[in-house]
C-alpha cells in the first residue's frame, strides 16, 4: 500500500491521500506495540474507507 501511495499519490486528491497515510500510520503503530486487537481494528477501518 505504501509503495502504491508513493507511486500514485499525486493522482488522488489530498484528503484521500491523507486518509490513507493516517491508516498506514495507525497500523504501523499497532504493529510496533504488538497489539493484535488494534491491528485488526486498524485493518478493518482501512479496508472500509
Give 32's pLDDT tier (boundaries 50, 70, 90). Answer: very high
Residue 7 has pLDDT above 70, yes or no: yes
For the chain, the straight-line distance linking the first and the last C-alpha, in angstroms and rounded, comes to 14
Q: In the chain, what percentage of residues exceed pLDDT 70?
A: 90
Residue 49 has pLDDT above 70, yes or no: no
Model pTM?
0.69
Tell me whether residue 42 is exposed, middle or buried, using C-beta atoms within 10 angstroms of its C-beta: 0 to 12, 13 to 18, 19 or more: buried
Q: How long, in residues, is the chain?
A: 49
Q: Report how far residue 42's alpha carbon sits from residue 28's, in angstroms, rounded to the nearest whole number.
A: 10
Amino acid at each position: 500500500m505504501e509503495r502504491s501511495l508513493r507511486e500514485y499519490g499525486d493522482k488522488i486528491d489530498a484528503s484521500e491521500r491523507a486518509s490513507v497515510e493516517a491508516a498506514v500510520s495507525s497500523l504501523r503503530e499497532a504493529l510496533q506495540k504488538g497489539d493484535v486487537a488494534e491491528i485488526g481494528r486498524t485493518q478493518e477501518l482501512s479496508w472500509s474507507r
